[in-house]
Amino acid sequence: MQDTLLYEYLLGLKSPWSVSRVNLDVKEQRVDVWAEHPDNAAWACPQCSKTLPLYDHAEERTWRHLDSCQFQTHLHARIPRVECPEHGVVQVGVPWAGPRSRFTLLFERLAIDVLSQCDVTGATRILRISWDEAWGLMQRAVKRGQERKQAKVVRRIGVDEKAAAKGHRYLTLVCDLDDGTVEHIAEDRKQDSLAGYYAGLSEKQLNGIEVVAMDMWQPYIQATLAKVPGAAGKIVFDRFHVMGYIGKAVDTVRRQEHQELMASGDEMLKGSKHLWLYSWENVPEWRRNAFNALRRQELKTGRGWAIKETLRRLWHFVYPEAGRKFWKRWYFWATHSRLEPIKAAAETIRRHIDNILTYYQHPVTNAMSEGLNSKIQKIKSMACGFRNMENFKTAIYFHCGGLDLYPC
């Protein structure tokens, strides 16, 4: 087989295109392939598909293709232009690459596969492309995916904030809790950050929202109340966030008590911080005995811990009335505990209790599904090189957007 024919086959070129020349440079480990066409070929206007004769050619362009073994392979061609009566002089499309891309479709497909399996730095090495080229590929893939994406009704939404970088910059993430995909990313965590998502939805989509799981965060609450019909009964404050508040209060009690004890030389609470934060069943086996001994010491921290652990039962009820009854008993206990941090946390929870108890109608647990959350953490930790926020967003959509990323 001739090398020109071989490359026609490898590139999948079809009439009127054929390979005119192949140049192999062993020293540079590089193959260059030129595609051409007969002068009398007819072309379609890229906008109206009208068949037209050749007008002239644009400058020669180069596309990176899949390597031929270890040889980097580049395709060269001059793109024909046609003169359409309606659209003027325009470049026609080429079958091997998308408009304005510097890579062939097959190379882009490979790059997307590689980029979805490893971090950007690794991908640049494997694919032998530059950092900017890698990000360009990802951005184009995300854009393509978003343009293709069909509007769907997201029934169960999770709203979460992510610290994006040092200096407390935040992103607001809106997730589809059923599909485990990130639907929307906005900068900051203000009312507008979330309102922007709702603004992009149709009436049907807004009406289709059944649950919005979120943290007890006023700007998100306000945005949802303003835009989602019947939001008051649809917001569910995330159970882990609620437990986070009371856990923090227990920690404050411990810190204060530890200081008091240390003043009289008592080191009893030293090194116990995490024991009190664990859920009971998660206390490591080897520390169980020590922890049980501590709990028998009638410490304030022990009291706070028992109040925290008991609150977890709130999410075990099936009947709302039973849950509400339990809540009232717990609230009474917490507010009469003489532990100020616990009382303050109990107050915060009380202010939001109606939308904590909506859990019984809509038992959603985590604002963001666990799998998705760990994926985003991984993206963040690989981000030794997110040089800007846009790249971080692109990476989240690329890996978690559930988008169809491939070129056609």
Rounded distance, CA 145 to CA 404, Å?
5
Contact between 87 and Zn ion by CB under 5 A: the answer reads: yes
Closest CB to Zn ion among residues 47, 121: 47
Q: Which is nearer to Zn ion, 61 or 87 (CB)?
A: 87
Judged by CB, which is closer to Zn ion: 91, or 310? 91
CB 56, min distance to Zn ion, A: 16
Cα(382)–Cα(22) distance, rounded to whole angstroms? 40
Phi, psi dihedral angles at 158 (to 5 degrees): -115, 130
Q: Is 51 in the site for Zn ion (CB under 5 A)?
A: no
Q: Which of 86, 147, 203, 267 binds Zn ion (CB under 5 A)?
A: 86
Chain centroid, CA 376 distance in Å:
6
Nearer to Zn ion, 48 or 225 (CB): 48
> Max alpha carbon distance in the chain (Å)?
98
185 near Zn ion, judged by CB under 5 A? no
Nearer to Zn ion, 84 or 141 (CB): 84
Q: Is 48 in the site for Zn ion (CB under 5 A)?
A: yes
The residue among 33, 53, 32 whose CA lies nearest residue 43 is 53
311 binds Zn ion (CB under 5 A): no
**CA 404/CA 140 separation, integer angstroms:** 12
For residue 45, state whether it binds Zn ion (rule: CB under 5 A): yes
Residue 132 CB neighbours (<10 A): 9
- Which residue from 195, 187, 193 is spatially nearest to 170, judged by alpha carbons? 187
Query: How far apart are the C-alpha atoms of 393 and 40, rounded to whole Å?
Result: 47
Shortest gap between Cβ of 54 and Zn ion (angstroms)? 15
Question: Site for Zn ion (CB under 5 A): which residue of 23, 47, 202, 377?
Answer: 47
63 vs 407: CA distance, rounded Å: 15
Does 84 sit near Zn ion (CB under 5 A)? yes
Q: Which stretch binds Zn ion (CB under 5 A): 83-91, 211-219, 222-230, 323-331?
A: 83-91
Q: Is 52 in the site for Zn ion (CB under 5 A)?
A: no
Q: Tell me which residues touch Zn ion (CB under 5 A).
A: 45, 47-48, 84, 86-87
